[in-house]
Chains A and B, each alone.
Chain A
Amino acid sequence: MSKHEIRSPLPGTFYRSSAPDVPPFKTDGDTVSSNDAIGLIEVMKTFQEIQAGVAGGSIRFLVDNEEPVMAGQVIAEVDQ
């Protein structure tokens, strides 16, 4: 089993859910499909959806909600 890293394509602020009062897209341990949204990156007041990019099990987030991220930083890992 290998780990797939999901990286932020842009610098910005990472959000785990689509709005402050809704549940996160995914929680640690969830299974993901390739085109599942796993979070949003806010960059200069616009929001870009981050997709898992791979199908796999047991996603694990490495960045907290509302944390600043750098371009290329690993946001989450997925077991494949």
Chain B
Amino acid sequence: MKLRSVLVANRGEIAVRIIRAAKALGIRTVQVYSAADADMLAVKLADEAIEIGPPAPKKSYLDIAAVISAAKRADVDAVHPGYGFLSENGDFADAVVAAGLIFIGPSGDAIRLLGDKVAARAVAEKAGVPTVPGSDGRISSLADALEVTKRTGFPVMIKAAAGGGGRGIRIVNTAAELETQFPQASAEALASFGDGGLYLEKVITRARHVEVQILGDGKNVVHCFERECSLQRRRQKVWEEAPSFLLPPEVRQKLCDSAVALARSVGYRGAGTVEYLYDDETRQFYFIEVNTRIQVEHPVTEMITGIDLVEEMFRIAAGASLSVRQADIAVKGHAIECRINAEDPRRGFMPAPGRIERLAVPEGKGIRFDTMLYGGYVIPPFYDSLLGKLIVWGEDRPACLVRLSQALEQLKIEGVPTTVPLHRALAADPQIAKGAFHTRFLETWLETEFAADGGRAAEVA
């Protein structure tokens, strides 16, 4: 199958990233955009750009018919969905294929199977991947839910079967709380996802979030090792690393092998991520979910393995076999990514759209800045606040942290508040240097360490 042109069905920094990969492979690029995004960087970089609707995502980037119509008009061979928006919508993948085009990702059936959290959990169990103790699939009544907690104990999470990405989750600490929250959670899941199905999972306290990058061509599957993404605020990742440096080698091997086994069991095609919770004390890991797309934090994996994951997605979609064998993939050094958001960390992370008055991007060995920004760009208020990602590589983690601090000093974004001061403070923090953190660490740290001086110590340093 020939892949000579691609429609980028996304926006922001990932659209820029996809266009750069396509250009490196000599693929013609067509960028879709909403009325609010006519000035975005990806539109300027693409060979062609097509407006698909008004600013509201559901009338543009989430409008399957509008995207398919643009793809047909532009006469492209393939569609890359990026992350978010339609990237994990099985019906969109089917619609792309029905239009005679290549969807750069797994099949609609695979997206639906792995996107349903209950079905994915069953797939994981069947492939021998440990799962978090919880309900055996969906639970239909409060009585069943209470029965499950006799086994798991409290606290437990009530999760929406159709949720994901940290959405549709409630934590309850007692049976009484479960009784109040269960019906509310079901109503909320029905309203948010069109599916009121729920399941229960034990809360693993003080766990790390560790995830394995996989690549499959439908026959073979390889892993590109793991990422450590425990630094989160409101279940959104803030800072990511690769590898997860404190993982014992034998645990790393088992973890990565389990992700490959899971992906192989469904004949996975494309790039994907298997997410886990890891308990440092018991050295147990537990499957959480599979993301059937490229992830925001994919560059840290690229920095330590030398594999260009987005280029690999294009090759797989074009029908090629994997260009790498497992034996060829090795970890070299350490990488950290900081998500730079248009939010004010000193004012409760209030989002702040606006005009970029000045931009100075750090350069040098081991430094990469994936961004949607340019000087004079006006950030629209209609989409998420991610402006770019600073990714830094070093020979080892201490060297990486030193280089990261230097790069964060050189990164200047003027015009809107950003999360750069937060990252400067994190990069200088002794607990971060030790790696002593878990998924609940950052929120506490923000209330104590960061609130104490508002990140000013790192500003002056």
Q: How many chain-A residues does the 8 Å CB contact rule pick out?
A: 13
Is A68 on the interface with B (CB-CB < 8 A)?
Answer: yes
* Chain B: CB-nearest residue to A43: B381
Q: Which residues of the partner chain A approach B385 to less than 8 Å between Cβ atoms?
A: 44-45
**Which chain B residue lies CB-closest to A22?**
B191
B56 pairs with A66, CB closer than 8 A: yes
Cα distance, A21 to B384, chains bound together (Å): 24
Question: Of the candidates B36, B55, B191, B383, which one forms a contact with A44 in the assembled complex, judged by CB atoms under 8 Å apart?
Answer: B383
**Please, how many residues of chain B have a CB less than 8 angstroms from a CB on the other chain?**
15
Taking a contact as CB atoms under 8 Å apart, the answer to whether A44 and B353 are in contact is yes
A21 to B191, CA, bound (A): 9
Cα–Cα, bound, A23→B55 (Å): 24
**Is B342 engaged at the interface, CB distance under 8 Å to the other chain?**
yes
Q: Which residues of A contact B153 (CB under 8 A)?
A: none
Among residues of B, the one whose C-beta sits closest to the C-beta of A46 is B351
CB-defined contacts of A42 to chain B, threshold 8 Å: 381-382
Q: Are A13 and B382 in contact (CB under 8 A)?
A: yes
Contacts of B342 in A (CB 8 A): 44
The answer to whether the Cβ of A62 comes within 8 Å of any Cβ in the partner chain is no
Q: A11-B353, A13-B56 are in contact. Are A45 and B191 (CB under 8 A)?
A: no
Partner of B382, one of A12, A19, A21, A46: A12
Cross-chain pair count, CB within 8 angstroms: 39
Q: Which residue of A lies closest to B342 (CB)?
A: A44
Cross-chain contact B56 with A44 (CB below 8 angstroms):
no
Q: Mark B347-369, 1 if CB is under 8 A from A, else 0.
A: 00011010000000000000000
Beta-carbon nearest neighbor of B236 in chain A: A45
Residues 9-41 (chain A) with a chain B CB within 8 angstroms:
10-13, 19, 21
Give A42-61 as 1s and 0s: 1 = Cβ < 8 Å from B's Cβ atoms.
11111000000000000000
- Taken residue by residue from 158 to 197, chain B's Cβ proximity to chain A (1 for < 8 Å, 0 otherwise) reads as 0000000000000000000000000000000001000000
Q: Which residues of B contact A43 (CB under 8 A)?
A: 351, 353, 381
Which A residues lie within 8 Å of B382 (CB)? 12-13, 42, 44, 68
Bound CA–CA A53/B58 (angstroms): 31
A45 close to B384 (CB less than 8 A): yes
Contact of B381 among A19, A21, A44, A66 (CB under 8 A): A44
Report the separation of the CA atoms of residues A21 and B350 in the bound assembly, to the nearest whole angstrom: 27
For residue A10, which residues in chain B have a CB less than 8 angstroms away from its CB?
353, 381
Task: Name the residue of chain A whose CB is nearest to the CB of B59.
Answer: A66
The interface residues of chain A lying within 8 Å CB-to-CB of B191 are 19, 21
Nearest residue, chain B, Cβ from A70? B381
Q: In A58-80, which residues have CB < 8 Å from any B CB?
A: 66, 68
Query: Nearest chain A CB to B211's CB is how many angstroms away?
Result: 22
Q: Which residue of A lies closest to B55 (CB)?
A: A68
- A7 and B380 CA atoms in complex are apart in Å by 19
Chain B residues within an 8 Å CB radius of A68: 36, 55-56, 382
Q: Given contact pairs A42-B382, A43-B353, enumerate 9 new A-B contacts (beta carbons under 8 Å).
A: A10-B353, A10-B381, A11-B380, A11-B381, A13-B56, A13-B381, A44-B342, A46-B351, A68-B36
27 examples of A-B residue contacts, CB within 8 angstroms: A10-B353, A10-B381, A11-B380, A12-B353, A12-B381, A12-B382, A13-B56, A13-B381, A19-B191, A42-B381, A43-B351, A43-B353, A43-B381, A44-B343, A44-B351, A44-B383, A44-B384, A44-B385, A45-B351, A45-B385, A46-B350, A46-B351, A66-B56, A68-B36, A68-B55, A68-B56, A68-B382
